[in-house]
């Protein structure tokens, strides 16, 4: 049985602030839910995922439009292709970033852990500077 690769993203520098007042600061998406990646600026790459909270075709959501969840990565200017290739290679097991449990850290901005020690931020590609934003759409009315 093949394990699903899970893609991890976190936007906070201090691990103590993860899930800061309910803000979306970390998320895991199954790689199979990645739908697209595209540049949104010279230093931004947006990744689109099937919604974590909504599914198309559910009876109680028949009239709703399901919008993709997104993650924005801040990258070195104009390195979009290199970053996209690194993400795809890592998903396909061509890099050592995927742990045995299937978790692939794409972008983790943490530089201070719970113990207060300084740690290195982790990125699947050296051109990623930070995890800019995570947006998951709200549950459709009636769900």
Q: Is residue 142 part of a domain?
A: no
Q: Is residue 143 part of a domain?
A: no
Q: Is residue 60 part of a domain?
A: yes
Judge whether 34 and 6 are in contact, CB under 8 Å. no
Judge whether 124 and 97 are in contact, CB under 8 Å. yes
In sequence order, which residues have a C-beta less than 8 Å from that of residue 82 and are 6 or more positions away? 125, 127
Q: Is residue 141 part of a domain?
A: no
Residue 143, pLDDT score: 46
Q: Is residue 1 part of a domain?
A: no
Q: Is residue 140 part of a domain?
A: no
Structure-token pair, residue 12: 């906070």
Domains held by the chain: number? 1
| CA gap 5, 102 in Å, rounded | 5
pLDDT digits (tens, 9 = 90+) for 16-58: 888 766 677 999 999 999 999 999 999 999 999 998 877 665 5
Q: What is the pTM of this model?
A: 0.85
- Domain containing 81 equals 6-135
- What string of DSSP letters covers 89-113? HHHTT-STTB-TTSEEEEEE---B-
What's the rounded mean pLDDT across residues 111-130?
96
């Amino acid at each position: 049985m093949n394990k699903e690769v899970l893609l991890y993203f976190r936007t906070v520098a201090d691990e103590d602030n993860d899930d800061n007042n309910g803000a979306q600061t970390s998320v895991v998406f199954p790689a199979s839910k990645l739908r697209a990646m595209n540049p949104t600026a010279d230093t931004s790459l947006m990744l689109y995922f099937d919604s974590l909270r909504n599914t198309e075709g559910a009876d109680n959501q028949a009239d709703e439009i399901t919008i993709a969840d997104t993650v924005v990565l801040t990258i070195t200017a104009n390195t979009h292709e290199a970053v996209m290739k690194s993400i795809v290679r890592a998903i396909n097991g061509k890099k050592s970033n995927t742990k045995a449990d299937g978790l692939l850290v794409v972008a983790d901005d943490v530089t201070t852990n719970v113990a207060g020690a300084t740690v290195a931020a982790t990125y699947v590609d050296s051109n990623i500077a930070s995890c800019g934003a995570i947006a998951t759409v709200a549950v459709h009315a009636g769900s």
